[in-house]
Amino acid sequence: MQLRFDVAHSPSLSDDVRHRLSRLAGSRLTKDGVLIITAREHRSQERNRVEARARLIDLIPPAPQSR
């Protein structure tokens, strides 16, 4: 199962987050700026989908806490 996320064109990401995510993605980032996360650990496609989403969430840094 592959999850694709368009890092380069996502309106939800700030430039700082986009740059950090691009660095962390390494070879998983296509030349067009699409992050590809592959999950094959589970027999169920749904469980692999959940795993791929969790990995994406782990890569995106949390928003800074305002005081």
* pLDDT tens profile 22-62: 988 999 999 999 999 999 998 999 999 999 999 999 988 77
The Cα 55–Cα 45 span in angstroms is 15
Phi first, then psi: give them for residue 10, nearest 5 degrees: -75, 120
Q: What is the largest CA-CA distance in the chain?
A: 44
Distance of CA 34 to the CA centre of its chain: 9
pTM of the predicted model as reported, rounded to 2 decimal places: 0.79
Of the listed ranges 10-14, 27-31, 32-36, 63-67, the least confidently predicted one is 63-67
- pLDDT bin (cut points 50, 70, 90) of residue 65 is low
> 């800074």: which residue's tokens?
64
Nearest-CA neighbor of 63 among 16, 10, 23, 30? 16
In DSSP terms, 34 is beta-bridged to: 6
pLDDT of residue 63: 64
